[in-house]
Amino acid sequence: MIGEGLVRADGQAKVTGRAVYVDDVRPEGCLYAATVRSPFAHARITGIRLDPDFDFSDVTVVTAADIPGENVVALMTDDQPALADKVVRHVMEPVALVAAPTREKALAAVSHILVDYEPLPALFDPERSRGHEPSLFGSDNVYSHITLVHGDPDGAFASAEGNADVRIIEGTYRVGLQEQLYIEPQGMIATHRVDAEGAPGLTLFGSMQCPFYVVKALSRVLGHKRFNVVQAVTGGGFGGKEEYPSLVAIHAALLALKSGKSVKLIYRRDEDLRATTKRHPCRLRYRTVVEVRTGRLLAFDGHMLFDGGAYNTLSPVVNSRGVIHAVGPYRCENVRSEALMVATNTPPNGAFRGFGAPQVQFAAERHLDRIARELGLDPLDVRRVNLYRDGDLTPTGQTLKDIGAKIVLEAALERAQRPLPPGNGSGRPGGGGQAARLAAGRGLALAWHGCGFTGNGEANLQGKADLALEGRDLRVYTSSTDIGQGTETIFPQIVAAALGIGVGRVSVAPPDTDLVPDSGPTVASRTAMVVGGVVLKAAQALRAALASEVGFDGDFDAMLDARTSDAVLRVREQYADDGTLVWDPKTYRGDAYPTFGWSCVIVDLEVDLDTGEVLYRRLVQATDVGRALNPVLASGQLEGGALQALGYATSEEVVLDERGCMRNDRLTNYIIPTALDAPEMETVLIEIPFAGGPFGAKGIGEIPHDVPHAAVAQAIERATGAVLDRLPMMPERVMAALERRR
Amino acid sequence: MILRFQVNATDVELDVLPMARLLDVLREDLRLTGSKEGCGEGECGACTVLIDGRAVNSCLVPVFQVAGAKVETVEGLASGLHGHERLHPVQAAFLEHGAAQCGICTPGFLVAAAELLAHTPHPTRLEVREALAGNLCRCTGYQKIVDAVANALGRQGS
Ligand code: FES
Ligand code: FES
């Protein structure tokens, strides 16, 4: 059961078109909503009027003045309003809402809400944010500033001066914005309901990762909790539906309350691209002391500057993950890692698969390549000499055990010896063809990724899961959402394995906050490992409860046969660590994560020397998954994540106009890879069990996005000698780098 | 206008605006919500349907163009009733290979793949990639989709 590639539980519904996504539902008499957004990056709102020449008789209009509770999107801090009031701080910021009987009428009404603005100076350059005007957040425009110190970096840099055996090597790296680009845009439906006590309330049904984030945010806006939140089948998230749906839900709810009707709010694609959160851009300056003979890292000093955009969202957590992962999976005894997350007048950036790690590990891998280049060493040798080994300390002082770094490296190298598949790269239609001048290259990169929340996160959260015996079948109740990764399949596998029954007897309750406990958010590669672990505990508790009811512990069906009652037996468990993890959030010292995943990626590609286009041939990845609960689902996660990283590498560029608004707001000009662009993939699952995860499983959702882009940069360099330290490596940047070659 | 056409082998007669998008007519008027809207501009392929056997993006088709035509959607791929349905081989292959994750792109891929398999039962991987290049998937990296389509009809053929 565990380790079997069972067909996903929701598969039949998805291949027949029956799976119900939010836009597939049309409540009786529902109104269609649209959002009035700011055209300015920073402005004072001096008035909101309705165009007297437009027929508003069947249009519901909501502004900040209609908010019954607090005007806030509650998350980490309360800086973001649900609707802008007096001031807008980024282009596309919601200012008012409309709902009308048809989509067309709603869209038309948007342009007849007349908002008067007085533009204010706007801030776009993160380098000029901290302590500068305009003041956007707190006293100094800083969302988060973390400095982590390990060993004696100052001493190591000081003693490097004049020492011929070592050298100081410095580099600057940049990564741009990236859009999650779930294929289903954001969407939410608010309907009216009467709860069990007869009180009126609302149901929010929509596309989301974290139903209880919506509960927290909406209850502050409404001033009560007389509503439930239900996840629809969700067409992808990748972090983009972690915090953002709270805002969409608030808007749908406000319109439903004011109109007295059901309201459906679905973003258009261009609107979704321009308005919603993206991966944080980052500028990274790395300085290292290295041993000349081997490239061994003796000291590391890294400074990261992240652009958080106009509101805080989850940016401090991204900053935190960035600081901890900055050196990559490499040992260094003297580290200073400092990250600054600042405010600008661009749309807020937020969660995206990897959460800071893809940014910093691009820099880490590129920096090792720079060390190899400057010292005349083989990049692979530089990695081998620095790779973590058992017993090493991380920059937070955590002792590493059961490290997969070397194992994934060797496994990937071995798999990459297989012949390249025919017909990809230039062999594909439109892929250069005979006439093209091509250079082929191979690149390799390594990643580590802390699984689950940082530090005491899980202990504080106490994620819960229920398991109920209903008749002879079992039902799992959690708020963990299946956004494609396979939660609805994995949890039954865990329960069935623990109880020794067929997986067909275990189902998963729909994530409805009326029915399920708060398991914590579906983020941070934590669902299978952390919540799955709580589900496993619940299965054990249920067995114990059943055993005490029937007076013996044995075969599960025999115990069921011995039951005299058919009452539902429901148990609840919650996360508790074993007390061995020690973490100090003030000093950033201690055990940052319960465990780490390890991955090695090898990319084969061709560079078209006349156009700068990169053509992918094959991507091999070997990844330590702890235990593959379902290898088909696990490899699917790894392959999908890796292709997103290839898009990040060479095609996905968010171009902002002078107002900070995404200019390329369509799928024709924000280019994600197609089946023709994608390489053939070979995925090797390495299993180094983690004792704290169910059956040894580790989190795997994010690690595939951590370094494929770095492997691409190395491959381009090896193919052509062109050095690129900035993402995305668009054809014109590749051409420029080709010209810069000595 | 009154429009007659066939959807999934059933005759339909509807009073529609001629310029209404076929996608909206399918989803809203006929409540066939298997075809999805990912972009509304012909780029993502989530709305792919067959018109007289040819895969098209239904978000780009004004409905008057299907007068008298045979339209097939994802709902028409399997035969038999819900619960007892016989899946089209490509649907079965998607399940077996794990080619659907979030599933929002899946109907469009299935329809495009069905068209390919109708004239090329044993496509090479490259032919599959070429035929599906008009459909975007953000979840899978396409590997399992290509696996599923290339192997859908097995060795015995059809
Ligand atoms: S919705 Fe038709 S192609 Fe995207
Ligand atoms: S399965 Fe999610 S977009 Fe393809």
At A607, which CATH number?
3.30.365.10
CA distance A416 to A411: 9
- Cα dihedral A337→A338→A341→A342 (10° resolution): -150
Is residue A97 domain-shared with residue A228, that is, in the same domain? yes
pLDDT tens across A304-329, in order?
A: 999 999 999 999 999 999 999 999 99
Contact assessment for residue A349 and residue A313, using Cβ atoms and an 8 Å cutoff? yes
**Average pLDDT in chain A:** 96
Phi/psi at B56 (5° precision)? -140, 160
B126 and A26 within 8 Å at the Cβ level: the answer is no
pLDDT recorded at residue A428: 76
| Structural domain harbouring A655 | 282-453+590-740
Residue partners of A508: CB distance under 8 A and separation at least 6? A9, A475, A476, A478, A482, A487, A488, A491, A492
Within this chain, do residues A468 and A448 fall inside the same structural domain, yes or no? no
Task: Tell me which of A8, A14, A648 to substitute to probe the interface with B (most B C-beta atoms closer than 10 Å).
Answer: A14
Measured from the Cβ of residue A58, the count of other Cβ atoms closer than 10 Å reads 13
Shared domain check, A449 and A462: no
Tokens of A404: 């997969």
Mean pLDDT, to the nearest integer, of A723-739? 97
Average of per-residue pLDDT across A137-157:
98
Largest separation between any pair of C-alpha atoms in chain A:
83
Residues of chain B numbered 64-93 and touching chain A (CB < 8 Å): 73-75, 77-78, 82, 85, 87, 91
A156: left (phi over 0), alpha (psi -120 to 50) or beta: alpha
Q: At A109, is the pLDDT very low, low, confident or very high (cuts 50, 70, 90)?
A: very high
Residue B34 Cα, ligand 1 centroid: separation in angstroms? 13
Which atom of ligand 1 is nearest to B47's Cα? 2
| Residue A6: per-residue pLDDT | 92
Hey, of A18, A32, A183, which one would you mutate to test binding to chain B, going by the most B CBs within 10 A of its CB?
A: A183
Mean per-residue pLDDT, A99-128: 98
Q: Using pLDDT thresholds of 50, 70 and 90, give the confidence band for residue A634.
A: very high
Closest CA to B20 of B76, B65, B80: B65
* Residue A675 falls inside a structural domain: yes
Among candidates A16, A427, A672 on the partner chain, residue whose Cβ is nearest the Cβ of B138 = A672
Q: Are A150 and A206 in contact (CB under 8 A)?
A: no
As a whole number, mean pLDDT of residues B135-140 equals 98
Find the length of chain B: 158
Average pLDDT over residues A8-25: 97
Q: Measured in angstroms, how far is the CA atom of residue B46 from the centroid of ligand 2?
A: 10
Query: Best of B143, B144, B147 to disrupt the A interface by mutation (most A CBs within 10 Å)?
Result: B143
Same domain, yes or no: A359 and A436: yes
Q: What residues of chain B, 126 to 155, have a C-beta less than 8 Å from chain A?
A: 126, 128-130, 132-146
Residues A495 and A613 in one domain: no
Which mutation among B22, B27, B47 tests ligand 1's pocket best, with the greatest number of atoms within 8 A of CB?
Answer: B47
Contact B27 A7 (CB under 8 A): no
Say what the pLDDT of residue B158 is.
37
Mean pLDDT, range A488-507, rounded to an integer: 96
Contacts of A669 by beta carbon, 8 Å cutoff, 6+ apart: none
Nearest-CB residue to B96 (from A7, A16, A23): A7
**B38 CB near a chain A CB, below 8 Å?**
yes
Q: What does each C-alpha distance from B119 to A166, A653, B114, B128 come to in angstroms?
A: 65, 37, 9, 12
- Is there a single domain that holds both residue A605 and residue A537? no
| Distance from Cα B100 to the centre of ligand 2, integer Å | 6
pLDDT at B80: 78
Instruction: At A104, list the tokens.
Output: 């067309």
> What span, in angstroms and rounded, lies between the C-alpha atoms of A92 and A81?
13
Residues A395 and A465 in one domain: no
- How far apart CA B41 and CA A415 sit, in angstroms, is 40
A16/B78 touch (CB, cutoff 8 Å), yes or no: yes
pLDDT of A435 reads 65
Together in a domain, A194 and A68: yes
Q: Determine which helix (DSSP H) or strand (DSSP E) holds A605, and give its type and residue range.
A: strand A596-608
Answer whether B95 touches A (CB < 8 Å). yes
Same domain, A533 and A663: no
Chain B residues near residue A483 by CB distance under 8 angstroms: 102
Q: Which of A529, A556, A580 is the last residue of a domain?
A: A580
Q: Using the 3D structure, point to which of A554, A580, A606 is the last residue of a domain.
A: A580
Distance from CA of B65 to the nearest CA of A (A): 22
Residue-wise pLDDT tens digits, A572-631? 999 988 788 899 999 999 999 999 999 999 999 999 999 999 999 999 999 999 999 999
Q: Please compute the mean of the pLDDT values over residues A501-512 and round it to a whole number.
A: 96
CB proximity list for A477: less than 8 A, separation 6 or greater: A465, A466, A467, A468, A509, A515, A516, A517
| Cβ neighbours of residue A674 closer than 8 Å, sequence gap 6 or more | B132, B133, B134, B135, B136, B142
Q: Tell me, yes or no, whether A143 lies in a domain.
A: no
Give residues with Cβ within 8 angstroms of B24, minimum separation 6. Answer: none
Q: Which band of pLDDT confidence, cut at 50, 70 and 90, is reported for residue A56?
A: very high
Whole-angstrom Cα distance, residue A111 to residue A115?
Answer: 10
**What is the average pLDDT across A205-224?**
98
- With an 8 Å Cβ cutoff, are B28 and A7 in contact? no
Q: Residue A432: its pLDDT value, please?
A: 59
Question: Exposed/middle/buried for A308, CB within 10 Å: 0-12, 13-18, 19+?
Answer: buried
Residue A449 belongs to a domain: yes
Instruction: Specify the pLDDT at position A434.
Output: 60
Q: State residue B155's pLDDT score.
A: 55
**Cα of A236 to ligand 2 centre, how many Å?**
7
d(CA A214, CA A203): 11
Residue of B nearest to A422 (CA): B126
**Helices B143-151 and B106-119: crossing angle, nearest 10°?**
30
Q: For residue A533, what pLDDT band results from cuts at 50, 70 and 90?
A: very high
* Domain assignment of residue A152, yes or no: no
Contact in structure between A507 and A225 (CB atoms under 8 Å)? no
Nearest Cα neighbor of A328 from A371, A289, A358 is A358
Nearest residue in A to B81, CA atom: A16
Residue A116 and residue A41 share a domain: yes
Measured between alpha carbons, how far is A604 from A616 in angstroms, rounded to an integer?
6
- A489 and A633 in a single domain? The answer is no
Q: Where are the alpha helices (DSSP H) in B25-134?
A: 89-97, 106-119, 125-131
Mean pLDDT along residues B8-28: 97
Q: How far is B68 from chain A (nearest CA, A)?
A: 24
Point out the residue among B38, B40, B103 whose CB comes nearest to the CB of A19.
B103
Backbone angles phi, psi at A298, to 5 degrees: -105, -30
Cα A462 to its chain centre, rounded Å, is: 21
Q: How far is B138 from chain A (nearest CA, A)?
A: 6
B40 touching A, CB under 8 A?
A: yes
The whole-number average pLDDT for the span A51-66 is 98
User: In the structure encoding, which two tokens stand for residue A384, read together?
Assistant: 């081998």
What confidence category does residue A662 fall into, taking pLDDT thresholds of 50, 70 and 90?
very high
Flag whether A542 is in a domain.
yes
Backbone angles phi, psi at A283, to 5 degrees: -115, 130
Q: Does B122 touch chain A (CB under 8 A)?
A: no
| pLDDT higher than 50, residue B157 | no
Residues from chain A contacting residue B28 (CB–CB below 8 Å): 26
Residues in Cβ contact with A54 at an 8 Å cutoff, skipping those fewer than 6 apart? A108, A109, A112
Query: What is the distance in A from the centroid of ligand 2 to the CA of A502?
Result: 28
Q: What is the DSSP letter of A3?
A: T
For residue A263, what pLDDT is reported? 98
pLDDT per position as a tens digit, A384-413:
999 999 999 999 999 999 999 999 999 999
Longest dimension (CA), chain B: 48
* Lowest-confidence pick of A1-5, A371-375, B117-121: A1-5
What ligand is nearest to the CA atom of residue A184? 2
> Measuring from atom 3 of ligand 1, which residue has the nearest CA?
B42
Please check whether residues A429 and A468 belong to one and the same domain: no
Least confident range from A243-247, A424-428, A628-632: namely: A424-428
The domain that holds A70 is classified in CATH as 3.90.1170.50
Percent of chain A at pLDDT exceeding 90: 95
A-contacting residues in B 102-121 (Cβ below 8 Å): 102-107, 110
DSSP sequence for A76-111? SSS-S-SS--SEE-STT-EEEEEEESSHHHHHHHHT
Listing DSSP states for A266-327 in one string gives E--HHHHHHHS--BPPEEEEEEEEEETTT--EEEEEEEEEEEEESS-TTHHHHHHHHHHHTT
Tell me which residue has its CA closest to atom 4 in ligand 2: B137
**Which residues surround ligand 1 with Cβ inside 6 Å?**
B 37-40, 42-47, 57, 59
Chain A residues lying within 8 Å of B111, measured CB to CB: none
**B104/A675 CB distance under 8 A:** no
Would residue A563 count as lying in a domain?
A: yes
pLDDT tens for A162-213 read: 999 999 999 999 999 999 999 999 999 999 999 888 999 999 999 999 999 9
**Residue A64, domain member (yes or no):** yes
Domain boundary among A215, A241, A266: A266
Q: Which chain A residue is nearest to residue B126, measuring alpha carbons?
A: A423
Handedness of CA A15, A17, A20, A21 (dihedral sign): positive
- If you average pLDDT over residues A427-443, what whole number do you get? 79
Structural domain total, chain A: 3
Nearest ligand 1 atom to alpha carbon B58: 2
Residue A131 CA to residue A219 CA, distance in Å, equals 34
CA A635 to chain centroid: 18
Residue corresponding to tokens 């035969």: B79
What number is the ipTM of this complex?
0.97
Chain A positions in Cβ-Cβ contact with residue B108 (cut-off 8 Å): none
Q: Per-residue DSSP letters for A694-737?
A: GGG----SSGGGSSHHHHHHHHHHHHH-----BSS--HHHHHHH
Structural domains in chain B, CATH included, are 2-73 (3.10.20.30), 89-151 (1.10.150.120)
Given strand A263-266, what is the order of strands in its sheet? A60-62, A94-100, A31-37, A263-266, A187-194, A200-206, A227-231
Instruction: Give a yes or no: residue A177 inside a domain.
Output: no
Please give the Cα distance from A521 to A533 (Å, whole number): 15
Query: Which helix (H) or strand (E) covers residue A380, if one does?
Result: helix A379-386
How many Cβ contacts (< 8 angstroms) between chains A and B?
Answer: 184
Q: Using one digit for the tens of pLDDT, what is the confidence trace for B39-85?
A: 999 999 999 999 999 999 999 999 999 999 999 999 999 987 766 78
Determine if ligand 2 sits within 6 Å of the CB of residue A636: no
Decide if A16 and B87 are in contact by the 8 Å CB cutoff.
yes
At residue A627, the pLDDT reads 96
